Amino acid sequence: MRMQPKGAGRRATWSWWALAFVGVAILCDPLLAHHSFATYYIEADTIEIEGDVVEFQYKNPHAWLYVAGQETFGARKNYAAEWASRTQLERDGITKVTLRAGDSVRIWASPNRDPSDNRVRLKRIERRADGFKWGQNRRDSR
């Protein structure tokens, strides 16, 4: 009969649980990384911003559109509009060159829950120069 060192069974059990925990953590990481827009933005409200594109970051998990616009009372303000994922935008025919710095746009967005934060969630966009549109109902966009 072979003798196991004292505590060897506990170490094996502990190792198995640690390995299982790490595996679950790796599999769940993408789920934890994604957030609900309602956590950061007031989804029931919509603000309208007119201005010029400063930068368009076409990336995942969300694209970002930076717009230099006007506040309600006339002060200039730079907005960072969180958009859809690159994959969703590609399905809608939007590429990394669809919007360029200097484009004059009008956007509708959910305001940030923190009034001092310039980030908004983009719901709809228009570029009057060529009639480009993207909206909440993607089937109506383009």
CB 80 within 8 A of CB 70: no
- Please state, in angstroms and rounded to a whole number, the distance separating the CA atoms of residues 136 and 68: 22
CA distances from 81 to 14, 47, 66, 72, 73 (A): 47, 12, 6, 17, 20
- In the chain, the domains with their CATH numbers are 37-140 (2.40.50.140)
How confident is the model over 62-111, as pLDDT tens digits? 999 999 998 767 788 999 999 999 999 999 999 999 999 999 999 999 99
What integer pLDDT is reported at residue 49 of this predicted model? 94
Q: What percent of the chain has pLDDT over 90?
A: 61
Q: At 50, is the pLDDT very low, low, confident or very high (cuts 50, 70, 90)?
A: very high
Helix (H, G, I), strand (E, B), or coil: what is residue 52? strand
Look at the pTM and tell me if it is higher than 0.75.
no
pLDDT given for residue 92 in this prediction: 94
pLDDT tens digit string along 122-135?
A: 999 999 999 999 99
